[in-house]
Amino acid sequence: MQERTFGRLGWDVGEIGYGMWGLAGWTGNDDEETDVALERSVDLGCNFFDTAWGYGEGRSEQILGRLLKKHREKRLYAATKIPPKNFQWPSRRGATLDDCFPPDHIREYTEKSLKNLDVATIDLQQFHVWEDDWADDDRWIRTLDDLKREGLIRGVGVSVNRWEPNNVLKTLRTGVVDAVQVIYNIFDQAPEDELFPLCRELNVAVIARVPFDEGTLTGTLTRESKWPEGDWRNTYFVPENLAKSVDRAEALRPLIPDGMTMPELALRFILENPVVSTIIPGMRKVRNVEANLASSDGRRLPADLTASLRTHRWDRTPTKWSQ
């Protein structure tokens, strides 16, 4: 596992981290399988784990807490997120800080996450949605300063709404935010336009999430793909989105080098960007952990292949199903 510096916080983190939404927010989980996969990730050098209170109402945090307790001798970084008070993902234009992150709510859910993780300090506390208009309301800043001074959190992060990478630029310029979590993959290249240059300028860490476009870039979806009742993917992969996503994934197949899978290609494309601090694919099985972490071996993609992948950029705007 290769490591990168996590922005101005200076942490040495593995290039491939662990996204933990699927461990508590999707159907088909197996607790025993989850524990084995997490243990294997630590064995292979994974040291950055991203969770949220919203993943199973704290259940994913509790899973991570058990892992941290088992490996007290290792430096594992725990990142979590505060849910918006109105529990609307993503936030909507016109929503106020009081609707989503009033000071007492920030503190309340930081304390809940501390309990779930069973730690004294959260390494990275993130906002699970964001509106750049809130940058001028310094109540969130003062609350985070208090939490830092009390030793309850180390760093501050913002998880940017889907397909809105520029909805945080003013906030970054406050100098308060240490890390940005954003969707970035072969399709979603828009963060390169304005967000990444500003992160480079301010030395803000970048967490690349949804590297496989919720499964599209695994190459396993078809126009007939369905999920069990209650699975979040049923509401995201509506017929319109599923058909377009499958078609775009199929268009990538001729570019996959011999001996490489589509997921590996997807991860290696992201790793070509030095602004990215770590990638957090969701992983529920040992075979996925081993395959994904193996992508962090220092090898580069050929320049002509990277250039070809750039032509598959897919600019999208939020819709009622994009969440």
Please give the helix or strand (H or E) that residue 197 lies within, else none.
helix 195-202
CA distance 217 to 87: 28
Return the residue matching tokens 């979806």.
221
Q: Which residues of 175-201 are buried (b: 16+ CB within 10 A; e: fewer)?
A: ebbbbbbbbbbbbbbbbeeebbebbee
Beta bridge partners of 48: 77
Helices 303-310, 262-271: crossing angle, 10 deg rounding: 100
Query: Would you write out the chain's pLDDT as a tens digit for each of its 323 residues?
Result: 999 999 999 999 999 999 999 887 566 667 788 899 999 999 999 999 999 999 999 999 999 999 999 999 999 999 999 999 999 999 999 999 999 999 999 999 999 999 999 999 999 999 999 999 999 999 999 999 999 999 999 999 999 999 999 999 999 999 999 999 999 999 999 999 999 999 999 999 999 999 999 999 999 999 999 988 888 888 899 999 999 999 999 999 999 999 999 999 999 999 999 999 999 999 989 999 999 999 999 999 999 999 999 999 999 999 888 87
**pTM, two decimal places:** 0.97
CA distance 224 to 294: 31
Q: Which residues of 275-292 are buried (b: 16+ CB within 10 A; e: fewer)?
A: bbbbbbbbbbeeebbebb
- Which residue type is seen at 68? L
61: number of CA atoms within 13 Å, CB side?
27
162 DSSP 8-state letter: T
Helix (H, G, I), strand (E, B) or coil at 156: strand
115: number of CA atoms within 13 Å, CB side?
9
Instruction: Find out whether 113 and 80 touch, Cβ atoms under 8 Å.
Output: yes
